[in-house]
Amino acid sequence: MQSTKLRLDRSRHAAPQVFEHLREQILSLELAPGASLSRVTLAETYGLSQTPIRDALMRLAEEALVEIYPQHTTVVSRIDVAAAREAHFLRRSLELEIVQMLAQRPDPVLFKRLQASIDLQRASHAGGQYQRFIDADQAFHRDMHDAAGVIRLWELAQRYSGHLDRLRRLHLPESGKAERILDDHQRLLDAIVAQDPQAAQRVLREHLSGTLSQVAEICKRYPDYVLAT
């Protein structure tokens, strides 16, 4: 499978744009595990030389989203459950502290932003718009990091989240999964608004455990996509 077309912003360097575009496609599974990425074909697709393509692929390799075989090919990596568990540990550790902090520091402006994200998720789910749903989900958690003054830690966690995000993408279409995410987000916001840090942390633990609790079933359904170690 090859990348879809990207209209490059000529005011920015090309390699980061190619990296971002390919990463989005990998996380959305548009570029599925095992998909081959030809440097020559990608250069033609993007209308670039092979140098920015190489640089973008190397950045993807640093996140373990692709495997580069020199002088041969590059393939999208299988989803590594061990790496997903590490990303989950990092995210849970950060967000438990964040929700505790936010529940002790009322911020009506933040509450409105978080509710808007939930409302957008609900509308996206009703319309079957999975990517829009995921984007609103990400915005919900990113806004909490931002409000806690640790946005750079959000960016750090994202660099390790590729395998976990792909697992979640496989899990999202399962019956009831999206509804549980919506319910968790609303309960989490309600606990923060109520200034109940213990309840907020309890909801967050439940919320973040959902996908990993279903790893065995996900592996069974998608054996060619998931590397269970």
CATH classification of the domain holding 101: 1.20.120.530
Residue range 121-169, pLDDT digits in tens: 999 999 999 889 999 999 999 999 999 999 999 999 999 999 999 999 9
Rounded to whole angstroms, the Cα distance separating 196 from 138 reads 23
How would residue 2 be classed by pLDDT, with cut points 50, 70 and 90? Answer: very low
Model pTM score: 0.88
pLDDT at 31: 97
Say whether 37 sits in a helix, a strand or coil: strand
Rounded to whole angstroms, the Cα distance separating 147 from 104 reads 12
Position 67 in a domain: yes
CATH classification of the domain holding 24: 1.10.10.10
Residues 6+ away with beta carbon under 8 Å from 79? 33, 163, 166, 167, 170, 225, 226, 227
Rounded to whole angstroms, the Cα distance separating 45 from 153 reads 34
Rounded to whole angstroms, the Cα distance separating 43 from 29 reads 21
Angstrom distances, CA of residue 40 to CA of 79, 183, 207, 216: 25, 46, 42, 37
- 173 pLDDT higher than 50: yes
Say whether 69 sits in a helix, a strand or coil: strand
Structure tokens at 130: 């999975």
Q: Which amino acid would we find at residue 201?
A: Q
Per the CB < 8 A criterion, the answer to whether 128 and 209 are in contact is: no
> Which pairs with CB-CB distance under 8 Å and at least 24 residues apart come from 71-74?
73/36, 73/37, 73/38, 74/36, 74/37, 74/38, 74/39
Rounded to whole angstroms, the Cα distance separating 79 from 76 reads 9
pLDDT at 133: 93
Eight-state DSSP code of residue 52: H
Once rounded to an integer, what is the mean pLDDT over residues 211-226?
90
Rounded to whole angstroms, the Cα distance separating 192 from 45 reads 47
pLDDT at 5: 62
Residues 173 and 156 in one domain: yes
Domain of 210, in residue numbers: 81-221
Final residue before a domain boundary, out of 33, 59, 76: 76
Once rounded to an integer, what is the mean pLDDT over residues 24-41?
95
Query: Could you tell me which of 40, 48, 28 has the C-alpha nearest to residue 73?
Result: 40
How would residue 213 be classed by pLDDT, with cut points 50, 70 and 90? Answer: confident
Position 227 in a domain: no
Position 229 in a domain: no
Residues 21 and 90 in one domain: no
Higher pLDDT, residue 8 or 68:
68
- 212 pLDDT higher than 90: no
Eight-state DSSP code of residue 4: P
pLDDT at 109: 97
Residues 195 and 109 in one domain: yes
- 6 pLDDT higher than 80: no
Position 22 in a domain: yes
Residue range 39-94, pLDDT digits in tens: 999 999 999 999 999 999 999 999 999 999 987 789 999 999 999 999 999 999 99
